[in-house]
Structure 1
């Protein structure tokens, strides 16, 4: 399931984040990549323990906790603290799949990466190239969103960031372990939840919406692994 969420961050949020990020010290992004990813990764990244990364990351996590669509689509059990990358001219990240198991600190519990999220902090007109390209069963999809918008996709997807040819592409990115590991099951639950919400807005809590809500929760009960 590839989903675009609009205006996760306000314009003021983005401007303040960019002010802090543009003044920060960036490092070679290969330091946080796995063995395969390091061979095809050419970008800059903010250290996870950098004060700016911690400050902005905490705010993004707060916004996502209040974002009903994100919560419904991802059903997060746990989400890693956001990381931040910067792609300048000639920077890119070749085809790769995200690591299956991750941790945010030396003693942190392992997280199974089920859902990947990219939150754009640069507007499309500020840079050329730099599209996020994601492959799924329906082909290849190129993503380049307004600053403040986010895209989610299964972490099992083969994906890349195309080379930047002008300007700079700045994003936050992170992974979630879902209560429901299978993407097909998460998709069904998300679409069922949206249908229930639309029916409830039109009909209220009648017998049919109540029955559908029961089906939703019984499927979630069957598939969820807390």
Structure 2
């Protein structure tokens, strides 16, 4: 299940983040890549610094208030964001994200997330491409928008041939490990909310809410 988040950041938040990015140092992105991903990674990442901590605070607050993100992912652990920059032909070739990530705590990666910080018309190339057996999907979203996609998928970032592409990336360990179960819960939650908006609290709404709650109770990992 791939979930775009159209307005994760408001203009004030995005402007603040970009001002913090402008004053920060960057380093070779290979530093955080797995041994095989280093072979295809050609980007820069923001160094660990006070600006990065402030950016993380802004992004985490945005996630906490975003209803779509929370009902789609059931977040248990959200990793600290990385700020990635591609320019002068920079890219990130086809790879799959590490299944486990380390640091202050170990977490499983169920869902990958990219937050677009630069406007798409300011750079050429740089599309995020996700692969599955049926087709590829390409994303080059407006500044402040984000996309969540399964960490199990192969994906890549196309070369940036002019301008620069700056994004924030993170990974989520969900309380519901199974992507299929998360999709069922998301569909049920979406249906019951739509029903409530159309008809108010009804017998049908109560039954859907009961089923959703009991499935989440069965599948959630605490």
| Range into which the TM-score falls when normalised by the shorter chain | over 0.9
- Kindly tell me the number of residue pairs found equivalent between the two proteins: 222
Unmatched 5+ stretches in structure 1: none
Aligned residues of 1:58 and 1:81 also touching (Cα < 8 A)? no
Question: The residue matched to 2:130 in structure 1 has which SS?
Answer: strand
1:145-179: CA deviation from partner (whole Å, max 9, x where unpaired)? 00000000000010000000010000000000001
Give me the whole-angstrom Cα distance separating, in 2, the residues matched to 1:44 and 1:120.
15
The one of 208, 219, 222 aligned to 2:218 = 222
Distance in 2 (CA, whole Å) between partners of 1:23 and 1:176 is: 28
SS for the counterpart of 1:165 is: strand
Q: TM-score, normalised by structure 1?
A: 0.96
Answer yes or no: is 1:204 the counterpart of 2:200. yes
Residue 39 of structure 1: SS of its match in structure 2?
helix
Distance in 2 (alpha carbons) for counterparts of 1:114 and 1:133? 18
Residue pair 1:72, 1:193 contacting (<8 A) in 2 also = yes
TM-score, normalisation: structure 2: 0.98
2:137 equivalent to 1:126? no
> Could you tell me how far apart the structure 1 residues matched to 2:44 and 2:148 are?
22
Give 1:138 deviation, angstroms: 3.4
Could you list the per-position Cα deviations for residues 70-93 of structure 1 after superposition, in whole angstroms to 9, with x for gaps in the alignment?
A: 000000011011110000121000
SS at match of 1:35: coil
1:64 paired residue number: 63
User: In structure 1, how many angstroms separate the alpha carbons of the residues matched to 2:27 and 2:199?
Assistant: 54
Structure 2: gaps of 5 or more residues = none
| 2:58 aligned counterpart, secondary structure | helix
Does 1:36 find its partner at 2:36?
Answer: yes
